[in-house]
Amino acid sequence: MRIFGFEKHSQRGSHVKLRRIEVAGERQTLTIPLHAELDVGTLRAIVRQATRYIHETEQRTYFYTD
């Protein structure tokens, strides 16, 4: 499954690294814990990390509820 162009690159324990390579060759990596529940602070860190590469409005349907 590819969302925002990221693919699973590697996994160590319960953490997975997602990576996409931009046209200019820039590697963009996100590290995501694969836990059933996440602490609020962990979720904020994931959103902050993802916002480096994906605009917040594009993330809204994945991270926020109405």
Q: Would residue 34 count as lying in a domain?
A: yes
Looking at residues 8-12, what average pLDDT do you find? 94
Q: Would residue 28 count as lying in a domain?
A: yes
Q: Would residue 15 count as lying in a domain?
A: yes
Q: Would residue 25 count as lying in a domain?
A: yes
DSSP state of 2: -
Q: Would residue 2 count as lying in a domain?
A: no
d(CA 62, CA 36): 15
Predicted confidence at residue 4, as pLDDT, reads 86
Q: What percent of the chain has pLDDT over 70?
A: 94
Q: Would residue 1 count as lying in a domain?
A: no
Tell the residue number behind the tokens 């590469």, with chain if given. 53
Q: Decide: 31 and 17 in contact? Cβ < 8 Å.
A: yes
Q: Which domain holds residue 17?
A: 7-63
DSSP state of 18: E
> How many domains does the chain fold into?
1
Q: Would residue 57 count as lying in a domain?
A: yes
Main-chain dihedrals φ then ψ at residue 31, nearest 5 degrees? -110, 125
DSSP state of 54: S
* pTM: predicted TM-score of the whole model, two decimal places: 0.75
First to last CA, the chain: 25
